[in-house]
Structure 1
Amino acid sequence: MEISIASEINAPLAAVWQAWVTPEEIVNWNFALAEWCCPRAEIDLQVGGKFIYRMEAKDGSMGFDFEGTFTHITPNQCLRFELADNRVVTVAFTATANGVRVVETFDAEDENSAQQQKQGWQNILNNFKQHVDSKNS
């Protein structure tokens, strides 16, 4: 099953793209809950390149690496990657009259409900929007 989430970012396309693919930016927004953080992000932005984002509870009680390999990159338009568990994710960036519409589509996993997955990924995308909007307001 595929799940899609979306958000409209009030910033220029180039700024949205850079915030999505730059490690120094990713660590500021890539977590689903306020009690979590992303202390490290590594990204090799090329087809066949890998990324690893460290996700951790701020209290140090748990954490995991979110990682995958890029399978398609069209700068300022689209990223596609395969996660370590073979699920596929597509992120589309579309310029709009007010900024950029970001749509993420991902294969669901079997461990959590579709609603939990959708909410978690949407929370991260909402953090992204807040981070980029605040830098470009």
Structure 2
Amino acid sequence: MITVQTSVNASIEKVWEFWTTPKHIHKWNNPTDDWHTPAVENDVKAGGKFKYTMATKDESISFDYEGIYTKVDKFLVIEYQLVDNRTGSVQFEIQDDIVKITEIFEPEKTHPASEQKQFCQRVIDNFKKYTEAN
């Protein structure tokens, strides 16, 4: 399993909204400025589907990150199963005026786990930057 974390200086309500709303996901869901998320579908409920299309801006790389939510407990946890049957979770923990986010997921087998961890850590760090600035 791969674990990435960040702590966001914002209310849980804001963190949840920015994490789950497509208009915000479009703006933060990328590891670097040469990536973007041109398409987002997100039905945040148990049994709801999600699909994020992530791509480099020059269109040399593109992939869909998609699956079904298996558990959603608002402000606490989101669990999911990807279309390739890997699983993951995102936990939200309130610590004073800060929300600690921990994402844990099964790596895919094509790329080294260290690369996947670095990619996802950069995405979650970008979420922190975007949320704190808006």
Same fold? TM cut 0.5: yes
Q: SS of the residue aligned with 2:27?
A: coil
| CA distance in 1: counterparts of 2:105 and 2:68, whole angstroms | 14
| CA distance in 2: counterparts of 1:62 and 1:103, whole angstroms | 27
Structure 2 alignment gaps of length 5 or more? none
Q: TM-score, normalised by structure 2?
A: 0.96
User: 1:50: which partner in 2?
Assistant: 49
Alignment deviations for residues 46-101 of structure 1 (CA, whole Å, 9 cap, x no partner): 11110011111111223111111000000011000011111111000000124100
Q: For residues 90-101 of structure 1, what are the structure 2 equivalents within 5 Å?
A: 90-101=89-100
Identical counterparts, % of pairs: 35
User: 1:121: which partner in 2?
Assistant: 120
User: 1:21: which partner in 2?
Assistant: 20
When structure 1 is superposed on structure 2, of 55-64 and 12-21 the one drifting more is 55-64
Count residues with an aligned counterpart: 134
**How much is the aligned-residue C-alpha RMSD, in angstroms?**
0.9
Structure 1 alignment gaps of length 5 or more? none
Q: TM-score, normalised by structure 1?
A: 0.94
Equivalent residue letter for 1:115: S
Does residue 6 (structure 1) correspond to residue 8 (structure 2)? The answer is: no
